[in-house]
Amino acid sequence: MSLFKTRTSQAPQSLNNGEAKATLSQYFELVIAGYNWLTNLIRIEEVNPLSQQYVEQVFVSSSNVTTSSLASPYYYPSSQGVSMNSYRDVAAELCLSSSSGSIFVYVEATTQTVASPEWVDITQMGYSYGANTGSYSTFSVATGSSNVLIAWENLNVDRIRFKTQVDYSNVNRIEIACKMKAH
């Protein structure tokens, strides 16, 4: 009885008396899982590629947000931010409009996991796809509307949040939608 079986094409999976026989190719090479009989190569593929691991969230979609100051801003999705888990890249679409006055948006991040972490302003690290520029100190709109698509790449942080300040106008709209992607 032979330990190996030589084949020139793929055979259906079968067991002989509870034992599987090892298979050799026509060149007497051991055939392993992933062997492609058409190309005589071993196929390698990712079952869950990192490039397809992402999450989309709308952090805020609100109208008529009341006046706030930098001393008491609004935080989206919350003052604790959103956990980045294994995600490293963030793309955010900011849709801001105001009938009078201004809306300012800052992006903050932390690497701390404590209950009250120190937050760092990372707004300047963002890259605007529409304007093809970076180094924003803030994203804002003054009496009008603004839509901007911003991305932060290779972030190695625990959480991020969006800090907003609304000046003088209660007739406004703030919408922040994000896509976080594994790297």
Residues 84 and 128 reside in one and the same domain: yes
Residues 89 and 7 reside in one and the same domain: no
Residue 3 · residue 21 · CB < 8 Å = yes
Q: Which domain holds residue 94?
A: 54-182
- In this structure, is residue 49 part of a structural domain? no
Whether the full predicted model's pTM is greater than 0.85, yes or no, is no
- In this structure, is residue 167 part of a structural domain? yes
Q: Cα(34)–Cα(41) distance, rounded to whole angstroms? A: 8
* pLDDT attached to residue 127: 84
* Distance, CA of 78 to chain centre: 18
The domain total for the chain is 2
Closest CA to 40 of 74, 10, 85: 10
Residues 175 and 89 reside in one and the same domain: yes
Residues 114 and 144 reside in one and the same domain: yes
Task: Count the Cβ atoms, other than its own, within 10 Å of residue 89.
Answer: 16
Residue 50 · residue 183 · CB < 8 Å = yes
Residues 35 and 70 reside in one and the same domain: no
Residues 6+ apart with CB under 8 A from 121: 106, 107, 108
Residues 69 and 24 reside in one and the same domain: no
CATH number at residue 147: 2.60.120
Can you spell out the DSSP letters for 20-54? PPEEE-TTSPEE-TTEETTTTEE----SS-GGG-E
Residues 29 and 107 reside in one and the same domain: no
Residue 7 · residue 27 · CB < 8 Å = no
- In this structure, is residue 7 part of a structural domain? yes
Residues 15 and 85 reside in one and the same domain: no
Q: Tens place of pLDDT for every residue, the chain, 183 residues? A: 566 666 666 666 554 555 566 777 777 777 776 677 777 777 777 777 777 788 889 999 998 888 877 678 999 999 999 999 889 999 999 999 988 888 889 999 999 988 889 999 998 888 887 765 555 667 888 888 888 899 999 999 999 999 998 887 778 899 999 999 987
